[in-house]
Amino acid sequence: MTARFSLQPAAVAATIAVAVVIAAGTLATVAATRVATPVSNVQIDAWRMQGTATHAAWPVWRLRLAAAFGNAAAREALADVLVSSAQLHERREGVELYRQLALGSVPGARATLGHLLLRGLPGITPDYVESRRWLSESALHDPQAAYDLSTLYRNGYGVARDPRLAIRWLEQAAQAGVPLAQFQLANEYRFGTTLPHDDVLALQWLTRAASAELPEANLALAIAYRNGELGMARDEDAYWAHVKESEHDLKHVSRP
């Protein structure tokens, strides 16, 4: 004869109550641990790097837990990891989290969101209108945002093309040390499309971009030395030196 067991409603309620108490105790323990030993920014950066490099679940879980308990750095790191995820739903979650951070005036979040919406992500199309909103709010104090805003105005992405504004933001980004902006500004002076032709300024900005290890800048300098351009005499040794530099730069190139 098989014995059959069934829980009465009172027993079910008691079981649920016990589970709730255990869960509450667990959360209280985690919270107490966090207060006693707060997560360091070094640890958060480690989880960020592990999450973006390996896409493993455990660093993401740890960032989620720290963010849930109010750690602002963990929240921003979580957004960074999620937008690099291979999963579309996580990329969307990351963009939305950056949007919340931007609305909360978290430093850098507005510029990052503007950049993401300008470039788009796999499965997420660019939104130039919203991108311009966030970039416009960030460009005065964020060089990358200034460069991105220049890109919007130069190409007419979601707005009428405006070469004057494009150059204004491009110059600001170049002065602040953005290598791509320096290279682009060099080309503006070199070819005279928007700015007056000026080989001296073109060479100045091209050299600064090359010194920042931008591969295309070193390659452009190499060609200029080979052909005797930008007011320079032909120099075979300088040509090969910059070719080698461009090859070296390609091994370390990282684009935002």
DSSP per-residue codes, 173-238: HHHTT-HHHHHHHHHHHHH-SSSPP-HHHHHHHHHHHHHTT-HHHHHHHHHHHHHT-TT----HHH
Predicted TM-score of the model (pTM): 0.80
What is the pLDDT of the chain when averaged over all its residues? 87
Average pLDDT over residues 182-195: 94
Q: What single DSSP character describes residue 159?
A: S
Q: How confident is the model at residue 256 (pLDDT cuts 50, 70, 90)?
A: low
Q: With CA atoms as reference, report the closest residue to 209 among 240, 170, 151, 236.
A: 170
Q: How confident is the model at residue 250 (pLDDT cuts 50, 70, 90)?
A: confident
According to the model, what pLDDT value does residue 44 have?
Answer: 95
**Is 86 a residue whose pLDDT tops 90?**
yes
Q: How confident is the model at residue 10 (pLDDT cuts 50, 70, 90)?
A: low
Range with lowest mean pLDDT among 23-27, 226-230, 250-254: 23-27
More confident residue, 247 or 208: 208
**Is 24 a residue whose pLDDT tops 70?**
no
Site of tokens 């600001």: 172
Which helix (H) or strand (E) segment is 244 a member of?
helix 236-252
